[in-house]
Amino acid sequence: MLRRFGRRVQDSGRMIQARKIRFHTDLPNKNATKATALRRTELREKREYLIKSGQATEEDFRRRSKRRR
């Protein structure tokens, strides 16, 4: 019974379609793009302010890379 089911699934093309779209992501719409752009500018301005006022240093905002073995 399982063999027949597997054959029908294979013939229908569902597995091929699932593998094709497995990592596909839709593009964000205009509103989402604008929102992320606004967030980026706000965070950049906040970071620059903190650095200029001496409350933080550049090293505080750098991403730490993972050590490779």
**Eight-state DSSP code of residue 31:** H
pLDDT number for residue 46:
95
In a domain, residue 66? The reply is no
The number of domains in the chain is: 1
What's at 57, amino acid-wise? T
The per-residue pLDDT string of the chain (69 residues; one tens digit each, 9 = 90 and over) reads 778 888 888 888 888 898 989 988 889 999 999 999 999 999 999 999 999 999 999 888 887 766 666
In a domain, residue 24? The reply is yes
In a domain, residue 68? The reply is no
In a domain, residue 54? The reply is yes
Range of the domain at 12: 2-61
pLDDT number for residue 55:
93
pLDDT number for residue 65:
66
pLDDT number for residue 68:
62
Q: Distance between CA 47 and CA 60 in Å, rounded?
A: 10
